[in-house]
Structure 1
Amino acid sequence: MNVFPDYNNNIINISASLAAYLGLRTSYPRSDILSAVLKREYKNVVLIVFDALGYHNIRRHLEPGDFLRRHIRKKITSVFPSTTTNATATMMSLSYPGEHCWLGWSLYFSEIGAAVDVLLKKLSGRDESAPAGLIDGAIPYECYYNLIENPKIPAYTVFPEIVDRGHSENHFTYDSFDELFETLASLCRLPERKLIFAYSSEPDTAMHGFGAGSPAAGKVIREINARVAAFASEAGDDALLVVTADHGQIDITRHIELYRDQELAGFLSRPLSLEGRAASIAIASGREKEFRDYFLAKYAGSKLYRAEELIASGVFGVGVKARGREFLGDYIAVPEDGAAFLLHGQASPYPGNHGGLLPGEMEVPLIIWAK
């Protein structure tokens, strides 16, 4: 069963509640559970986003009594496509996918006639950098925690060294779990009230490398659980800890080399892009019916969604900017099983992946702990 974003039960609600806590006025729906807890004036409010630590992956790898699983307050939805690019932009900017337009890993820019891996700033499937300034010039966004002048509650960000977006004025980097949690503990000892927003690329990296259900992924998730539990025990009586994920991840059962399909290529007006589990397809003029007949016959395990219908149904929030509309193309092809498309010759055939609409990709936990 496919799961679509529910923006009243979504990762964006976490950001809306935290923004209100900082004093920012916003019309985005808040998390009722988190907002109720935030009525208390905590000295430290700590949000940790673990990449791909989905609701189902926690239940798969942790016991009912383990810290993270025990403190799940609610199952919430991610955004679509269910990918880091889209989800972290949503959480950092406090805006819908159709507003920030960082919709997927690979986005097609008409001004250069090529798709770009926007987080890596390189042309998709090529060993060539994207033109300087292209991405930030086309799809800029501001982080909500940087919009408040002279804030009474300052925001701190703690990200891996390689993450070059979303920094607050008080930004810290780390390169290991030890350093991450040492930094969090050190910041919590500062006397002022504060919001700390931390991000970890695990267990996403382990799952991509070995599979969502692999022993290697389970080992990383159990370490995360132990680290967070230890941090909570030392955080003090005046701390609120919120843990969630940007999206989940599933095991991939087969890879489909879509880029090798020359008959399919004849229907297209531009290269494939977006995500391996949510491929953007733009159709050459007058070829739509032929394309649909061909695709649905050959790739029967996948669902074709008209981009306009997804937009109209609110999948990307309230409307989509022109740039986002361009990125989406005419159709989004989503495998309904565990398959993943390879969109170009350099695409990695990961054992684990995400981006689609299955519960394992779309459902994430809202974990809340306070003494």
Structure 2
Amino acid sequence: MPLSLPADPPTARSLTGVVPDMLAALSGRSPSLKPARSAVLMVVDGLGRLNLSARAGHARFLSGRMTKKDHARTVFPSTTATALTSLLTGTDAGEHGIVGYRVRIPGTHDAPNQLKGWETHGLDPLTWQRALPLLEREALDGRPVFVVSRPGYAGTGFTRAIQRGAQFVGADSLDDRVETAAALTGSHDNALVYLYTPELDATGHAHGWESDAWSDRLEAVDAAARRLEQLMPADVGALLTADHGMVDVPRHRQVLLGEGDALVEDVEIVAGEPRMLHLYTAADASGAVRDRWERAEGQRSWVLTRGEAIEAGLFGTSVAPEVAERIGDVLVAARAGIAYYDDREADKKAQNMVGQHGSLTDQERLVPLIRLGAFAPEA
């Protein structure tokens, strides 16, 4: 392979270990978190550690609380569906099966969106996502478990796939979600509360993380985190983390795949997402497709066959056979500031996105892991 893949440091913390560590802290057994009576996991979709550091002046509270050790690495691909599933099951994609944003249902030509395709393509939340959700496990053991999120997410296939077992509490605004999460920890002992905010990610996709709009939204997140700590009882701990970071890709950096392009020759489905493509090829064509992509794009993207990706451990140390069938025959993960689009698709709205993620770069994979409340380090 001409380009070696980036390797995680041996001591790197994985997003898969965050919830188990919090649960250990509730029984006083965590190696890294102080004991707490209850805990809040605040997930800020799209808040990469490097993005946060670059805009520290717009997040003085969080930046002031973030030490050099306060970070983790999200999973691959660095996309919401995969990362949130890994966070809330404690497993990598090779085990839970959510291997990207859009992936093919084996034996078909359908490649549904893994956030919304549960409804449109009949994906079964109890079987397509293969791992036991940690929230369900804890609820069955008698722990009070809550999800505080936007009301529209209640009862969706993705919510059922990764958050079943928890009591869902909907709140429209971030301020209301913060107040609700804090109140739940005040009224329930030994509770775990998952608090989700998608607003920063949406702003980043629409305007880019380097935009004024993103900085304004970050200030609101910073204020919300401060307020959460103020409202929580003193014996409650909180962790703030994210599913992925973000890279801005302006229009002139988009790579458009058009009719007759050699890069789509023998490719039956272009799926995944713009910075991490799953290419599903015609029978026995994966080697030729990989070679064409390597020659054309190898200087600015990592190009691997399915087997190479599995052998490299990108989807975890173990990949179940039925999960392997969902992975593209060829994977293309951008390392430069580019994004790939299938320009043959009729709906081109996705090409309006500025902020992107999904690949292996530190900007996409490093996320903050900031300790608040009872979890905060000694001053």
Q: CA deviation at 1:43?
A: 2.8
2:58 is the alignment partner of 1:57: no
SS of structure 2 residue aligned to 1:108: coil
1:108 matched to 2:104: yes
Could you state the TM-score of these two structures normalised by the residue count of structure 1?
0.86
Relative to structure 1, is the Cα distance of residues 48 and 368 closer, same or farther in structure 2, using a 3 angstrom cutoff? same
Question: Matches of 2:220 and 2:138 in 1, distance apart?
Answer: 36
Counterpart of 2:308? 309
TM-superposed CA distance for 1:80, in Å, is 0.7
| Offset of residue 140 of structure 1 | 4.1
Which of 210, 215, 223 matches 1:213? 210
Structure 1 residues 303 and 221: alpha-carbon distance in aligned structure 2, compared to 1, 3 A threshold: same
Percent of pairs with identical residues? 23
In structure 2, the residue matched to 1:79 is 75
Show the 5 A alignment for 1:141-220.
141-148=131-138, 151=141, 153-163=143-153, 164=156, 165=159, 166-220=163-217
Mean Cα displacement is larger for which, 14-23 or 73-82? 14-23
Residue 120 of structure 1 is matched in structure 2 by 116
CA drift at 1:284: 2.8
Q: Secondary structure at the match of 2:195?
A: strand
- 1:337-367, CA deviations, whole angstroms, 9 ceiling, x for partnerless residues? 1111114443502111100111110100110
Distance 1:191 1:295 in 2: 54
**Counterparts of 1:226 and 1:83 in 2: how far apart (Å)?**
26
Contact 2:16 2:89 in 1 (8 A): no
**Secondary structure at the residue paired with 1:319?**
coil
TM-superposed CA distance for 1:117, in Å, is 0.8
1:157 deviates by: 1.2
Q: Is the 8 A contact 1:80 1:86 kept in 2?
A: yes
User: Structure 2: how far apart are the matches of 1:327 and 1:56?
Assistant: 31
Q: Which amino acid aligns with 1:108?
A: R
Which of the numbers 236, 239, 250 marks the counterpart of 1:239?
236
Query: CA 1:146/1:116 → structure 2, altered by over 3 Å: closer, same or farther?
Result: same
Whether the 8 Å CA contact 1:78–1:246 is kept in 2: the answer is yes
Letter of the 2:137 partner, please give it: L
Contact 1:15–1:94 under 8 Å retained in 2: yes
Instruction: Quote how far apart the aligned CAs of 1:282 are.
Output: 2.9
What is the correspondence of 1:31-70 to structure 2 with a 5 Å cutoff? 32-34=31-33, 37=34, 40=35, 42-63=36-57, 66-70=60-64
Deviation at 1:320, TM superposition (A): 0.9
Tell me: CA distance 1:235–1:139, structure 2 relative to 1, closer, same or farther (3 Å). Answer: closer
Query: In structure 2, how many angstroms separate the alpha carbons of the residues matched to 1:338 and 1:314?
Result: 24
CA distance in 1, matches of 2:107, 2:218: 42
Match of 2:377 in 1: none
Residues 276-355 of structure 1 correspond to what in structure 2 (within 5 A)? Answer: 276-299=274-297, 300-343=299-342, 344-346=345-347, 348-349=350-351, 350-355=353-358
**d(CA) in 1 for partners of 2:133 and 2:232?**
26
Superposed displacement of residue 150, structure 1: 5.5
- In structure 2, what is the Cα distance between the partners aligned to 1:152 and 1:137? 24
Asked if the contact 1:312/1:319 (under 8 Å) is kept, the reply is no
Q: Which runs of 5+ in 1 are unaligned?
A: 24-29, 123-128
| Deviation string, structure 1 residues 247-288 (Cα, Å, up to 9, x no partner) | 1111114212225454333222x3011221110123334544
Q: After the TM superposition, which of the residue ranges 318-327 and 5-14 deviates more from structure 2?
A: 5-14
8 Å CA contact 1:14–1:31 kept in 2: the answer is no
The residue that corresponds to 1:125 in the other structure is none
Count the aligned residue pairs: 353
In 2 relative to 1, CA 297–310 (structure 1 residues): closer, same or farther, beyond 3 Å?
closer
Bigger drift between 248-257 and 64-73 goes to: 64-73
Instruction: Point out the more displaced range, 62-71 or 327-336.
Output: 62-71
Asked if the contact 1:64–1:70 (Cα under 8 Å) also holds between the matched residues in 2, the reply is no
1:112–1:265 Cα change, 3 Å: same
List runs of 5+ in structure 2 lacking aligned partners. 375-379
Shift of residue 245, structure 1, vs aligned partner: 0.4
CA contact (8 A) 1:280 1:327 kept: no
Closer, same or farther: CA 46–288 of 1 in aligned 2, 3 Å: closer
Farther-moved stretch of structure 1 (9-18 vs 63-72): 63-72
Cα distance in structure 2, aligned partners of 1:339 and 1:96: 26
CA contact (8 A) 2:135 2:166 kept: no
One-letter code aligned to 1:283: T
TM-score after normalising by structure 2: 0.84
